[in-house]
Amino acid sequence: MKYKRILLKLSGEALMGNRQYGIDTERLMEYAQEIKKVVDRGCEIAIVIGGGNIFRGVAGAAKGMDRVQGDYMGMLATVINGMALQGALEDAGIKTRLQSAIEMDKVAEPFIKRRAVRHLEKGRVVIFGAGTGNPYFTTDTAATLRAIEIGADVILKGTRVDGIYDSDPEKNENAVKYNSLTFEEVFEKDLKVMDMTAFTLSHENKLPIIVFDMNKDGNLLKIVDGENVGTLVNL
């Protein structure tokens, strides 16, 4: 096993499956089974999920909504997604804890670093909700921050595509995939891996990032075992 402790970042849209909005329970169960394989291997896993399948603060602001209020609505959406994933994981027999950056005692623990690490050491999956708890920060930034705080070995960014390309592979059939990149190369080529705040935070803290296709069966476990899947961004 190459990675002992990982931070898995999932977009809210990933939970939609083939739907246009909301949560596809079938896709949720598929993800739970993929995560279970990793847990059974003995890997410690924390998860951050976006909220774009329910609400995006940036999109609300573009339509005239107050950005701060919109961002808080987006944070609440991530907690809804976290609760849904928690339910799916527990149905699969995995012990989990949901921690929120915004206190909501009835549904989640407050985020406390030492407690989160202790849960991981006990083999529990920890889901971090509500982003960083502050407006203007993306869930990519929240994922990077939490990964650094818990001492994760790597950030695994699960997407719909199988890595980083020189252009959008969904729009350009001739797009070229990169198997590995340095942080400097990503900056130079202006590739969109994460937002700049999250990416810079990873770079400064020497935290590798792997972008991969979460929808392909077995990919998550292959990465944990050290196989070359997706695109690795490292120093």
CA angle 38, 133, 128 (to 5 degrees): 15
What are the boundaries of each domain within the chain? 3-231
Kindly provide the b/e burial profile for residues 107-122, where b requires at least 16 CB atoms within 10 angstroms of the residue's own CB.
ebbebeeeebbebbee
Residues making up the annotated binding site for ATP are 9-12, 52, 56, 159, 165, 168
d(C-alpha 102, C-alpha 215), whole Å: 30
Report the candidate in 226, 222, 164, 211 with the shortest Cα–Cα distance to residue 34. Answer: 222
Residues making up the annotated binding site for UMP are 51, 71, 132-139
Residues making up the annotated binding site are 9-12, 51-52, 56, 71, 132-139, 159, 165, 168
What is the dotted CATH code of the domain comprising 3-231? Answer: 3.40.1160.10
- Tens digit of pLDDT per residue, the chain (235 long)? 999 999 999 999 999 988 989 999 999 999 999 999 999 999 999 999 999 999 877 777 778 889 999 999 999 999 999 999 999 999 999 999 999 999 999 999 999 999 999 999 999 999 999 999 999 999 999 999 999 999 999 999 999 899 999 998 989 999 999 999 999 999 999 998 999 999 999 999 999 999 999 999 999 999 999 999 999 999 9
Query: The pTM is what?
Result: 0.95
